[in-house]
Structure formats: structure tokens, C-alpha cells
């Protein structure tokens, strides 16, 4: 795992000191070594900060091909790269290292811009072709590893995080008002947008080519719905975990005690008996999963480490994260993920995670709710309104998934079309009624496969894969882990597992009475029954409760930052705050979103 950055200037003004400044800004992504390359004629510059995982002695970057005409900087891991290496050697390529990075330059020599199709892994890389005078960058299919770019004033800059691009002295830093509206609606930034004008994410499964003739973006991967449908899921997961255990440094696992992380832990122990696992506990029981994590660790014989996230730690952790987080993210699991990464890093350099299990195998309550909604949508609106009113009469609750909130949210979304319904539910479950800006105009359909052939449940799963997973969960995990120089791998997002999961009929994943049916069937064979059968519990913090008590002063102080009200109406924000403090509404999600935005403003505008 690494951090990469660089830029191309066809007027031959590339400056090595600027490249070094760009990569030094993300030193936490790669504290072990650094490297820069500047092309002949000072046209292209590539930079790298390396966290050494494989081939510790000879794997430093940038890496070149035999004659030095193809150069790469690479963030991520290529699984099964040894097989690719063997094929390349048979074709006459000469490789000097044992790293997965070197495979990339030779694959590019062999297959050109089609080479990402051959890669199974998590990756973002940049290749400079000296002979053809062109830059080629690409990102993995699920978007596990980030890659941003900008084209300005005759310069093309790229990097693992937006802050690398911002450091170019000619870049005009301006907040994007459309991105702000989108963040205030979703709590994260979907699709290719960033918080800065003219800085974009390269979308997952895409590559970009830059030459003097211009810039070209290509989609190299389309989601398959008819691949591996008859494969054995047990064998696919076993192979994915085995591939992702390969490292020349200590490897552990995040074990929350939920279904996904518990299954990943089981497959690890099939091949590696001595294993350390890590999780976070909470004092508030509706958020705490530590009893389950200890039960799974005991069942599998894993050495388990748990640390409680105490409310008194939040201001300090918030400050640490805000100083590095160059895009606001309202996900309340960011701080717990940062803490578990921080203390896991004391023991290991790599951790496996259960991210992706819900999106691939139908794990969210909303997925099952679509089955119910397809029945309820035939009810007259006045009947649904009566139900919403009844749920509104229930007392305000600060527990995880309170009935009043869940019930209102469900009924408000019933009449919507499946895609719009899922987007609405996933927005409202976290942020509820705290809308402070106009709903952004965003056509998600152009970013998704054609959904007409699928039922509402599969529509929801596909939408979550391309939005919530790619732009919230994976961003959160990448930043929280990389800020602590920890590599996190996600076996559920192995390419074969993705293809298998989305090639199944949704009824194999979700029924009226059960989510994640295929994973639960596996879990019943290998894990304690109460783990296999337990409902979904989100990995977040009780911010609603904390902002009324222990974090009241912290929240009030953070929301008093004057610059916040250059963008938002102070009266509306204070109204949200007062209603929350009086217990009239639980506005915890919306207020936390503002807290994170305020922290971002303080450091990045």
C-alpha cells in the first residue's frame, strides 16, 4: 500500500521538488520509503510514498521495464500476481524484482491499455510511456483504492488524495458548490465529484490516457450478471482470503463479531492458525458488539484485542482526523474505524476486513424492506400518512435503529421507484430530517448498469455497490487505515466473488424473513449459531446521545466556527441544535455531518 502523485506538463516545466512536496503531504500512506521520476525533457513526473508489504528489499518504486521506457508508481495489491509473473517470463519479459508492482509495467508492454482487465486486486497506478509520451492511469473495479485528477492551465495532476493536487502551485483552489449540496444531502460525495472545483475521482473500473492530443477516459469493466453463477461460494471465499493473506509483514483481521468479519476470520484460520483480531467496544449496548467478537475469537482460537471507544476521546480523535481529511465525510463509523486501525497498527501492518459483504449478498435492512414496500406501495397515500403519523407519536430515541425513525423512513419511501427509494432510504436512515440545502440534482442511472431487468432488491444492491460502498465505506476505510499506515484488504471484493454475487437471483440473497441467506448458510456450518443468525448492527457511534451530554460543549464549539455560516443558514443550524438538545428531535446524524464539515473547513479552505 502506498500513496502516489504526479503531474504532466507538455511545456517541459515539471519540477521534481513539487512532486516531492505532493508525496510528502501523504507520507502516512507510505512511511517506509519514497521515490520520484522525471521524464526526459521534464514533461512527466511521478512520485511515491511506500508502505512496504511485499518484496521488502527490492520493491521500492518507481519501477521501470527493461529499457527504462515504461515507468510505474502503484498503490495497492495485485492478487495472484505470481501467475501473471510466470506468464510474462514465458513471453520473454525480464523481471528484476519479486514485487507485484513490476508486473504492471510488463503487462502494459504486452497488452497496452487493456492491461487492467488482467488484474485482480485493489489498485490505483500511473504509468508513463516515454516512447509514446503518454500517461496511463487506472483504478480497480470496486474503487477500493482512491485516485484523483485535475486538468488545469495546461497541467494534468493526479494523486491518491485531493490534497496532492491542491499542492501544485498553479492549481486554483475553489470549493465546488454542487459538491457541497451533495455532501449536505448524502453525507459523502458520490460519483466522480470532489469538494474542489475541477478535481475529480477516476471512477472505479475506469482508466485514463493523457497525450498531447488530449485526454481519454475508458470504462474497462462492466458488472457481470451471468458469471460464476454455479460456482461454489465456499471455495471462492476460501481462495480470495488465501490470496489476500500473502504478505512479508504481519497480517491480522478486523473482527466486529458481525457475520461478514466472522466469516473472513474463519477462512483465515483455515490457513493461518496464529492470528490476531481487533475490534472496538461501546458502553452503549445498542452499539456494542464486543460479546459477539469475543465469542467468535474463542470459537476460532484467535488472539483477540478489544479497546473501548470512550466519549472523552472523541475531540482528540476528531482533531487528528480533521487535520488530514481533505474531503468531509459524515459517516459516524469513521472515528471507530480510525481507532481500531490505530491500535491494530501496533501489532500488524495488514488487516483483512469484511467490507462489501452487505452490498454483494443483500445484508442491509433496506434490501429486505423492498420486498415489503412492493406490497405496501399499493396502499393509498392517506393510509401511509396515518402510519407515518403514528410512528411520529413514539418517543424520540437515541438508540441504534430506533423504531420511530425506521418506521417513518420506510413509509416515506414506499411509493418511490426502487432506485430512488433506495437512495432516499440510505440518505434518510443516517441524516433523517436535517436537510439544510436544496436536494442536489444527480442522475445516478448513468453511473449504474441497466436496472430494468432486475427486481427492486437487486436494484438496491447494485445501487449500494456503486454509491454507498464505493464513495462512503471504502473511502472511510482507506482514510482511517492509511492515516495510521495500515493496509486493509477486502476479500469480499475479489473479482470472482463480485461476479458470483451479482450473478445470483436476488431471492437467493434476501427473503421476507432473512437477509444474506447465502452467507448465513455458510456461517451456520462454521460459526456459533447466534452469530450466524444475528441481525445487522451498524458500526457507528451514538452521536445523538453524546451531542446532548458528553459532547455537547464540543459540538457547540465546533458549530460556532464562523466560516461555516458563509455556506449555511445559522438560524437553521441553531434550530436543529436546539430541537436536539430539548429532545424534540434526534438530529444527531445531521449535526454530526455539520461537525465534520466544520472540521474540514478549518483545515482545507
Residues marked active site are found at: 2
Q: Is 456 annotated as a binding residue?
A: no
Task: Give the sheet arrangement for strand 214-219, strand by strand.
Answer: 63-64, 70-78, 121-129, 134-139, 206-211, 214-219
Name which of 409, 350, 402 is nearest 538 in CA terms.
402
What whole-number distance in Å separates Cα of residue 185 and Cα of residue 498? Answer: 28
What whole-number distance in Å separates Cα of residue 13 and Cα of residue 42? Answer: 6
Do 146 and 478 touch, CB atoms closer than 8 A? Answer: yes
Terminal alpha carbon distance of the chain: 28
**522 to 302, 360, 389, 568: CA distances (angstroms):** 19, 15, 41, 49
Q: Cell digits for 119?
A: 488484474
The DSSP symbol for 303 reads: E
Q: Cell digits for 63?
A: 519501477
What whole-number distance in Å separates Cα of residue 432 and Cα of residue 471? Answer: 19
What whole-number distance in Å separates Cα of residue 394 and Cα of residue 27? Answer: 50
**310 to 57, 282, 559, 588: CA distances (angstroms):** 40, 7, 22, 17
Q: Is the peptide bond before 5 cis (omega within 30 degrees of 0)?
A: no
- The phi and psi torsions of 278 (rounded to 5 degrees) equal -140, 140
Q: Which residues contact 296 (CB under 8 A, 6 or more apart)?
A: 255, 257, 262, 265, 302, 527, 528, 531
Q: Is 397 annotated as a binding residue?
A: no
Q: Is 280 annotated as a binding residue?
A: yes
Do 423 and 467 touch, CB atoms closer than 8 A? Answer: yes
- The phi and psi torsions of 437 (rounded to 5 degrees) equal -130, 165
Q: Is 552 exposed, middle or buried (0-12, 13-18, 19+ CB in 10 A)?
A: middle
Q: Spell out the SS3 assignment of 456-510.
A: HHHHHHHHHHHHHHHHHHHHHHHHHHHCCCCEEECHHHCHHHHHHHHCCCHHHCC
Known binding-site residues equal 100, 280, 353-354
Known binding-site residues for ATP equal 280, 353-354
Known binding-site residues for L-glutamine equal 100
Amino acid at each position: 500500500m502506498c500513496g502516489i502523485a504526479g503531474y504532466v506538463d507538455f511545456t517541459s516545466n515539471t519540477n521534481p521538488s513539487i512532486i516531492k512536496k505532493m508525496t510528502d503531504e501523504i507520507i502516512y500512506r507510505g512511511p517506509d520509503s519514497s521515490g520520484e521520476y522525471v521524464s526526459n525533457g521534464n514533461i512527466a513526473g511521478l512520485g511515491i510514498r511506500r508502505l512496504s508489504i511485499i518484496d521488502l528489499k527490492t520493491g521500492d518504486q518507481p519501477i521501470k521495464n527493461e529499457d527504462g521506457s515504461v515507468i510505474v508508481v502503484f498503490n495497492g495489491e495485485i492478487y495472484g500476481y505470481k501467475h501473471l509473473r510466470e506468464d510474462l517470463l514465458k513471453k520473454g519479459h525480464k523481471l528484476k524484482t519479486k514485487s507485484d508492482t513490476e508486473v504492471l509495467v510488463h503487462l502494459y508492454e504486452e497488452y497496452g491499455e487493456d492491461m487492467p482487465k488482467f488484474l485482480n486486486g485493489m489498485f490505483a497506478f500511473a504509468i508513463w510511456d516515454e516512447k509514446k509520451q503518454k500517461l496511463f492511469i487506472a483504478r480497480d473495479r470496486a474503487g477500493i483504492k482512491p485516485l484523483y485528477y485535475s486538468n488545469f492551465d495546461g497541467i494534468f495532476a493526479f494523486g491518491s488524495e485531493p490534497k496532492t493536487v491542491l499542492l501544485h502551485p498553479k492549481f486554483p483552489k475553489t470549493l465546488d458548490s454542487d459538491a457541497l449540496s451533495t455532501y449536505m444531502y448524502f453525507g459523502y460525495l458520490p460519483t466522480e465529484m470532489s469538494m474542489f472545483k475541477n478535481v475529480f475521482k477516476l471512477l472505479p473500473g475506469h482508466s485514463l490516457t493523457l497525450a498531447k492530443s488530449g485526454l481519454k477516459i475508458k470504462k474497462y469493466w462492466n458488472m457481470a450478471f451471468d458469471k460464476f453463477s454455479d460456482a461454489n461460494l465456499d471455495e471462492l471465499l476460501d481462495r480470495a482470503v488465501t490470496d489476500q493473506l500473502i504478505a512479508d509483514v504481519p497480517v491480522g483481521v478486523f473482527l466486529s463479531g458481525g457475520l461478514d468479519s466472522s466469516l473472513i476470520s474463519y477462512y483465515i484460520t483455515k490457513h493461518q492458525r496464529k492470528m490476531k483480531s481487533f475490534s472496538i467496544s461501546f458502553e452503549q449496548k445498542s452499539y456494542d458488539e464486543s460479546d459477539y467478537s469475543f465469542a467468535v475469537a474463542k470459537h476460532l482460537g484467535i488472539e483477540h484485542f478489544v479497546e473501548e471507544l470512550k466519549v472523552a476521546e472523541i475531540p482528540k480523535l476528531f482533531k487528528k482526523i480533521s487535520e488530514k481529511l481533505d474531503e468531509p465525510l459524515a459517516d459516524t463509523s469513521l472515528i471507530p474505524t480510525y481507532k481500531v486501525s490505530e491500535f491494530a497498527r501496533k501489532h500488524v501492518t495488514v488487516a483483512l476486513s469484511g467490507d462489501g459483504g452487505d452490498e454483494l449478498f443483500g445484508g442491509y435492512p433496506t434490501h429486505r424492506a423492498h420486498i415489503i414496500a412492493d406490497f405496501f406501495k399499493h396502499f393509498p397515500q392517506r393510509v401511509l400518512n396515518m402510519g407515518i403519523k403514528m410512528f411520529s407519536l413514539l418517543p424520540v430515541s437515541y438508540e441504534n435503529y430506533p423504531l420511530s425513525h425506521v418506521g417513518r423512513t420506510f413509509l416515506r419511501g414506499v411509493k418511490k421507484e426502487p432506485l430512488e427509494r433506495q437512495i432516499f432510504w440510505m440518505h434518510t436512515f443516517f441524516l433523517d430530517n436535517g436537510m439544510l440545502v436544496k436536494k442536489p440534482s444527480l442522475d445516478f442511472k448513468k453511473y449504474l448498469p441497466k436496472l430494468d431487468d432486475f427486481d427492486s432488491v437487486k436494484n438496491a444492491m447494485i445501487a449500494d455497490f456503486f454509491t454507498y460502498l464505493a464513495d462512503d465505506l471504502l473511502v472511510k476505510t482507506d482514510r482511517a487505515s492509511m492515516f495510521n499506515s495500515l493496509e486493509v484488504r477486502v476479500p469480499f471484493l475479489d473479482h470472482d466473488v463480485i461476479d458470483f454475487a451479482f450473478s445470483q437471483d436476488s431471492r437467493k440473497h434476501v427473503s421476507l424473513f432473512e437477509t444474506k441467506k447465502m452467507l448465513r448458510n455458510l456461517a451456520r456450518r462454521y460459526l456459533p449459531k447466534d452469530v450466524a443468525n444475528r441481525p445487522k448492527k451498524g458500526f457507528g457511534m451514538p452521536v445523538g446521545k453524546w451531542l446532548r451530554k458528553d459532547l455537547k460543549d464540543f459540538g457547540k464549539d465546533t458549530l460556532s466556527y464562523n466560516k461555516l455560516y458563509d455556506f449555511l443558514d445559522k438560524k437553521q443550524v441553531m434550530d436543529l441544535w436546539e430541537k436536539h438538545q430539548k429532545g424534540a428531535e434526534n438530529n444527531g446524524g445531521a449535526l454530526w455531518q455539520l461537525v465534520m464539515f466544520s472540521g474540514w473547513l478549518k483545515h482545507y479552505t
